[in-house]
Amino acid sequence: MRILFNGDSITDAGKDYDSAGISPLGQGYAFLIAAQLGVEFPQKHQFFNQGHGGSRVENLIKQIDQDT
């Protein structure tokens, strides 16, 4: 199952934009949810964090087709 987190700076939560980064999910709720599901269902999920600081609803609507 693929799970996409999409939103603003709260979703972004300091994620590392470097492809070799340690924290591609950030340090917020996306990371916590992924960690919990990873414990409960190992190797059953892929997680993606597309949150970007400063995003607004109109940005998310334009981006949703590309992200999903």
Q: What is the pLDDT of residues 10-60, one digit of tens each?
A: 999 988 877 666 688 999 999 999 999 989 988 888 899 988 888 888 888
Q: Specify the pLDDT at position 37.
A: 92
Q: List all residues 6 or more positions away from 28 whose beta carbon is below 8 Å from its beta carbon.
A: 10, 11, 12, 13, 14
User: Can you tell me whether residue 46 is helix, strand or coil?
Assistant: strand
Other CB atoms within 10 A of residue 35 CB:
12
Q: Specify the pLDDT at position 67.
A: 77
Q: Specify the pLDDT at position 13.
A: 93
Q: Specify the pLDDT at position 43.
A: 82
Half-sphere exposure of 23 (CA within 13 A, CB side): 13
Q: Specify the pLDDT at position 60.
A: 82
